[in-house]
Structures are given as structure tokens and as C-alpha cells.
Amino acid sequence: MLTLADYSPEEIDYLLELAEEIKTKHKNGEIVQPLKGKILGMIFEKSSTRTRVSFESGIYQLGGTGLFLSSKDIQLGRGEPISDTAKVLSGYLDGIMIRTFSQADVEELAENASIPVINGLTDDYHPCQVLADLQTIKEVKGSLKGKKIAYIGDGNNMANSLMIGAAKMGLDVAIAAPEGYQPSPAITEKAKGFAVGTEVLVTSDPVEAVKDADVIYTDVWASMGQESEQLEREKHFANFQVNDELFSYAKTDAIFMHCLPAHRGEEVSAEVIDGKQSVVFQQAENRLHAQKALMVALMG
């Protein structure tokens, strides 16, 4: 799983159905361990709360073991080629999850590994998050097709993956970002190529994006590695906060989503993220179930 662009709508739907089944059994107290004895290596060049805890808890609940591998603790951090690391780890593990900066590094790892590789996040894509997002929308709204998701904020890895995931699964998607911070034109065109009877819109007008939306989504204005740009970004994104006023342009039953961590008072007001239409913690929990489904599908 390097990017959702590689998966057909049928494959994504299968993963969502499997995630729903796994979640239901988990909630009912059933112990399901199809990955008994399997080991997932988890390489982290970017720190995380949700990615680490959900993958490590998930592989344990499925009967396997998660092995945390900080880039500071393995030879990647001392210059060992990614190809060598991939071949060595393939002899020890049953799967690799990597959370890093470069998408090219994940692709090189996958090309040289003989075991499944999961993209836990790169600067370009965040496919595991979008699987959980789609699962959440389906749970709350009952279906995906025909719904509209509006993403307000930085045209980052979340915007990229949401465009692709939404287009694949029959949702309209509108991205509102300031000029100079919009998603990659190449990835935008890729997403448009997946849209059948739906729209992929990129605009600099947040109101245009949220009009008649079923879902409003945002992310931090400065992602990990962009901390030095925080003050400059705050100036450009000042009119892109998701608040009650912006929310009023969406459908009355619209839900609010955020991949977390959130900065209340910046990209989203406290009233919205802590309000009755927010599903951010249901969304965060679904990282566990969606990723368990992914691990079962790839490693089982």
C-alpha cells in the first residue's frame, strides 16, 4: 500500500467492508487472530501518536507482534542503502510499515522488499488515514457515493490522498487552499482521471469549496518539517479557518473531520472541533480498524 492510486474501487471497498467486520467483532469482544506469529516492522523517520499506537495495537490484536524501528536505531540512519535494508528486513519480518518524508524512499523500499510494505505517511501521501476517513464517512452517512467532501487548508499529503480516495469511491471533492499552497497539479490531474461522474475541484475560495458539502475536513497549516514556516503560513491561511461561519455554507447535517493533531484557534475553531458535528475521535479510532483490515489483506 504505497498510495490509493494503485487500488481499484473494488479493492478499497473490500478493505472498508473488512474493516467494518473487524471493528464489529472487536467491539463484541471476539478475539480474531489471523496474523498469529507474524511480525510487522515499523520504521519511523517521522514521529507519531496515532500511526504508532494504531499499528502496534492492531498487529497485537491480530495475534502478531509490532517491532518499533526508529531511523536513529537502525542502519538507515547511518547511510545504509534502502535497498539493502529492504532485503535484510525481508528475511526477518512479515511486513513493513514506514512513516517517512520521501515517497521515493517508500517506493524503493517496496521495490526491493519481498514482503508487503505499507506507507504510514510521506510528504506526498497518507493512504492509511484516508482509508479510516472513508470508513468513518460510510459509518456516519451510510454510503460514500454521491457525497461531497470539502478540504480546507494546505494542499499537502492529506489533500492529495483525499482527492484520490474520494474520486475512486464516487465522492465529489473540493480542495480550498491559498495560491502557492494548492495540491500538486500532477496529483490533481491524476485524481481527476479517477473521477467518474464526480468532480475534483481545486479553488482558493473556502466558501465555494464547502457549499453543499457533506463533510468538511482540515489539517494543520504547517506539517511536520515545516515548523520554520509557521508564522508565514499563518498569514496566508488566515481566511481558511474552519469555523461556524464557514460551516454554515455546508449542508445542515455536515460532519467535521481532522486527521489530528489539531491546533484549536488556527485551522479550526474550538466550537467546531468540539461541537456535535465533529467526528474526529471516531475517525481517529478507525485508524486501528482500517489498518487491521489492511494488514490482514496484505499479510494474512
182 catalytic, yes or no?
no
Alpha helices in the chain (DSSP H): 9-27, 50-61, 82-90, 103-112, 127-141, 157-168, 185-194, 206-210, 230-236, 244-247, 270-273, 280-299
On whether 224 is known to bind a ligand per the annotation, the reply is yes
**Residue 51 assigned to a binding site:** yes
Q: Which residues pair with 174 in a beta bridge?
A: 150, 201
**DSSP helix/strand/coil, 156:** coil
The one catalytic residue in 172, 233, 259, 291 is: 259
Q: From the candidates 233, 258, 287, 289, give the one annotated as an active-site residue.
A: 287
Question: Among 21, 18, 39, which Cα is nearest to 30's?
Answer: 21
Residue 77: Cβ within 10 Å count: 12
48 is annotated as contributing to ligand binding:
yes
The residue annotated as part of the active site, out of 94, 124, 129, 172, is 129
Q: What does the DSSP 8-state code read for residue 169?
A: T
Q: Is 52 annotated as a binding residue?
A: no
Q: Answer yes or no: is 35 a known binding residue.
A: no
78 labelled catalytic? no
Q: Please indicate if the annotation marks 260 as binding a ligand.
A: yes
Pairing state between β 255-258 and 65-70: unpaired
Indicate which residue of 94, 219, 258, 283 is catalytic: 219
52 is catalytic: no
Known active-site residue 99: yes
Asked if 263 is an active-site residue, the reply is no
* Cis peptide leading into residue 185 (ω within 30°): no
Number of C-alpha atoms within 13 angstroms, CB side, residue 290? 28
Decide: helix, strand or coil at residue 199.
Answer: coil
Q: Which of 94, 126, 172, 283 is catalytic?
A: 126
99 carries a ligand binding annotation: yes
Contact between residue 151 and residue 176 where contact means Cβ atoms under 8 Å apart:
yes
For residue 103, indicate whether it is catalytic.
no
Binding site per annotation, positions for L-ornithine: 157, 219, 223-224
Binding site per annotation, positions for carbamoyl phosphate: 48-51, 75, 99, 126-129, 259-260, 287
The set of catalytic residues is: 99, 126, 129, 219, 259, 287
Binding site per annotation, positions: 48-51, 75, 99, 126-129, 157, 219, 223-224, 259-260, 287
